[in-house]
Each structure stands twice: as structure tokens, then as C-alpha cells.
Amino acid sequence: MNQLRMVDVQDVLAQGGDALSKASGDMLKLVDAEVLSEDGRRNFIARAVARYADGRARSVIVKATRSSAYDPGAANVLQASGLAKEWVACAFLASRAPNRGHGAALLAGDVTNGIMVFEDLGAHLRSLVDPLLKGTAQEAERALALYATAVGRLHADTIGCVDAYYQTLESVFGSGRSRLAPGWHLVKEAELVTQRIGGTPPASELDLLSSRLLDPSPWLTLIHGDPCPDNSLISDGRMRLIDYEYARPSHALLDGIYWRMGFPTCWCAGRTPADVAARIDASYRMELGKSIPQALDDRAYRIELTYMSVVWLFTCLSWRLDHALERDESWGIWSIRGRLLWYLEAVIEMTDAASVLPSTNRVAQAWLLELRRRWPDAVPLGLYPSFASKPHDFG
């Protein structure tokens, strides 16, 4: 198991300050640290003040890995380190799409010690969590539209990014680094589920889905990988995505399915009503279509989105099913069993509507019936509080 190392706050500030001094060409020190991360988290995060020799000052965010296995010289550093993924993604975005609002700007870093220094977007910004859990339906939909626009802009700005992305990797961590494949084959994930609850998706449909992951063209972009509500900050009327620790070149709609699937990697999971989700799709597609014309084709978009919903179903079942079969427990604001039931319901509905993957649809129905039999008290993932028992058609 990857052990966490102790962090000396003053050492991190000193090393981060040195890195920022080199990057800016000014002499400065980082002081007055306010620790933002909790004990036991894989990263140390603090807000600090950069004090320059001429009296200027600015607030910055300092992030340091606590992984004892962090090795910047490893050939597989990108696969092994979330901090490395975030570093490469942020550096790539700074060169490919400067001033486009993709997260917080990376100001400097210390590769050897695994430290990054970011601009501070602000101490009291709201995240997407707030309107979804505490806002009105109208406030939640407006925030989701901002979110979808931000995700679409990220994808549109990074179309066909593979070579430039890996050039950035080499510029930060040196040459001789192995690449991440844009996708994977789904056979093992499907087999795990089959061994637990029966039902076998056909090889032809698994091969089709795997081929869309392994060669996503024309949908190949930089994806965030974990675009959760709490990784989405509202700043100056726009949404800014932060925490790119799962970012990589892959299929855009692995991110673009999030509000349809109920934010599958997030503690604050929840569903959006179908009519709202359709309008959020429109915001996303408007941005994405600037670089991927297929996103503006209703049929092509629906099919590709459905494919990625099935990918997320297999992925989430492979992550969670063993645990859920033993016992249920809450993860954030909903139970694990309830989440898995919803993913099955969503995939069944989407494959029906798109008229694709008929055999996978039948297997998903069988899985759903079996899990409902085993889990009679489990309640499928529900609407976000902002949408529950409220009208959704705003005209």
C-alpha cells in the first residue's frame, strides 16, 4: 500500500518559494500558510502569501504530494502519480489554451520534491456542490450550464492533443517516459461482474466499446477524468475546473456523460431530471461542436454518449460490486448499492433510446433484476435536492 509521508510545512513553503522565484525572476518567500487539506489525504494543500522583495504580495495555492512512492525519475511516473498527471495537464493547457480559464494557472513547481504552486482563484468561491445541494432548481440548472460549458471548452481546446501532451510530459519530467493508452479493453471488467451475478455481454459488443476507447478519434481530447461538483469553482460568472489528477488524453464523453450518470466518481452524487440534462447537453455540445462537428449531429452524439455510459457502468461495477455484495454503506450523500442500481437503469434507458448494444441492454436488465432481488431495500440514486419535488420545465 502506498504510504503517506510526513510534510514539513516550512520546508514545502521554502521549496515552493524557491521554485516560484526561479519561474518569476523575482526574489520572494512564501509565508503565512493556511493548511487546507485534511490529515490522511494524499496531497498537502495550503494557501500562502508570496511576499516579494519590493513589497508586493499575492496569494497562492501550494500543493505537495505526500506519496512516499513518488519518483519523478520513474519511466511510469505518469501512470503512478496523480500529481504528475496534474502537472502535465496544467502545463499543457497553459501552452495550448492560455487565458481560457481552464482551472488555476500553474505558476511554478519543484519536480524533485513534488511541489506545485498555483494562482489562488479566491478564498470563498462557491463550488457546483452548493447550488446542487442547497440551491433552487433554477440556480442548479444555471450552474450546471456553466459547468457543461467549461467541460466543453476544455475538450474543444484540446482536440487531437496526444503528441503535444507527451511533449509536455518530456519537458517537465524528461525523456524516456511511457505513454498512457487513451483507453482499455472492457473484457476483465465484464468478466468480474459475470462471475458475481451471471449474464455475459457478447464479445462483439465489448470489442466495439473497447475500440471506441482505444481509438476515440474524432472524440480524442484531454479529459479531466474526475470533473466532480467540488472540483468545479464558480469564479466571475464562469466555472473553473480544478484538480486535474486524473487528466489524460482520452474519449471526451467520458467527462461529457457525468451529469447523465449522476457524477459517478463523486461523494456528492445525484441525478438531474431528463429535461434538465438535455438542456445541459446542449450547452456542452455548443462548445464541443466548435472542434468536433459530430457533437452537433444528434444521432452521432447520442450513440457515442451511450457507448460511454456503458463504459462507466462496467467501470463502476468493477470498482464497487464486490464490496456492495457484502454490505451496503453510504458514500457521501448516497449508498453504493443505490448508485449501482441507477447506473444500470441509466444504461438500459440510454441503449433503448439510441437503439444500440441490444445484447448488453438485455444483460444489464438481467443484472438489474438480480441486484434488486438481492438488495430489496436499496434505493436507486435520486435527484439532487435542488431538483427534488420541483418543476423542471422553465420554458
Does the pLDDT value for residue 32 go beyond 90? yes
Tell me if 389 is assigned to some domain.
no
User: Please, which pLDDT band fits residue 2 given cuts at 50, 70 and 90?
Assistant: low
CA 361 to chain CA mean position, Å: 26
Looking at the 3D structure of the chain, how many domains does it have? 2
User: Where would I find the beta strands (DSSP E) of the chain?
Assistant: 28-35, 43-52, 57-65, 106-110, 115-119, 220-223, 232-235, 238-241, 248-251, 330-331, 334-335
Residue 16 pLDDT:
98
Average confidence (pLDDT) over 166-194:
95
- Identify the domain boundary among 119, 137, 155: 119
Same domain, 21 and 151: no
CB 291 within 8 A of CB 156: yes
Residues 157 and 257 in one domain: yes
Residue 380 lies in a domain: no
Same domain, 140 and 252: yes
CATH of the domain at 185: 3.90.1200.10
Assess contact for 352 and 288: CB atoms under 8 A. no
Give the structural domain span for 191: 129-374
Least confident of 3-7, 25-29, 32-36: 3-7
Examine the domain organization and report whether 176 and 36 are in the same domain: no
pLDDT on residue 39: 85
Quote the CA–CA distance of 129 and 203 in Å, as a whole number: 39
Over residues 164-192, mean pLDDT: 95
Each residue's pLDDT tens digit, 34-82: 999 988 889 999 999 999 999 999 999 999 999 999 999 999 999 999 9
Say whether pTM exceeds 0.75: yes
Please give the Cα distance from 361 to 346 (Å, whole number): 11
Q: pLDDT tier at 18 (50, 70, 90 boundaries)?
A: very high
86 and 160 both lie in a single domain: no
On whether residue 124 sits in a domain, the answer given is no
201-227 pLDDT, tens digit per residue, is 999 999 999 999 999 999 999 999 999
276-311 pLDDT, tens digit per residue, is 999 999 999 999 999 999 999 999 999 999 999 999
Q: Helix, strand or coil for residue 46?
A: strand
pLDDT at 1: 47
- Examine the domain organization and report whether 228 and 324 are in the same domain: yes
136 in any annotated domain: yes
- In this structure, the answer to whether residues 144 and 85 fall within a common structural domain is no
SS3 349: helix
Say how far apart CA 259 and CA 148 lie, in whole Å. Answer: 9
Q: Point out the least confidently predicted range of 20-34, 222-236, 379-393.
A: 379-393
Q: State how far the Cα of 304 lies from the Cα of 379, in Å rounded to an integer.
A: 28
Of 63, 98, 119, the domain-final residue? 119
Strand 248-251 with 115-119, pairing: unpaired
- The answer on 258 and 171 residing in a single domain is yes
Q: Report yes or no on 288 lying in a domain.
A: yes
pLDDT, average across residues 178-188: 93
- Clarify whether residues 165 and 192 are in a common domain: yes
Domain contains 1: no
Q: Sorting pLDDT into bands at 50, 70 and 90, what band is 234? A: very high
Among residues 119, 142, 169, the one where a domain terminates is: 119
Same domain? 113 vs 187: no
The CATH number assigned to the domain holding 77 equals 3.30.200.20
Residue 384 lies inside a defined structural domain of this protein:
no
Are residues 92 and 156 located together in one domain of the fold?
no
pLDDT (tens digit per residue) in 90-142: 999 999 999 899 999 999 999 999 999 999 999 999 999 999 999 999 999 99
379 belongs to a structural domain: no
> In terms of domains, do 188 and 250 share one?
yes
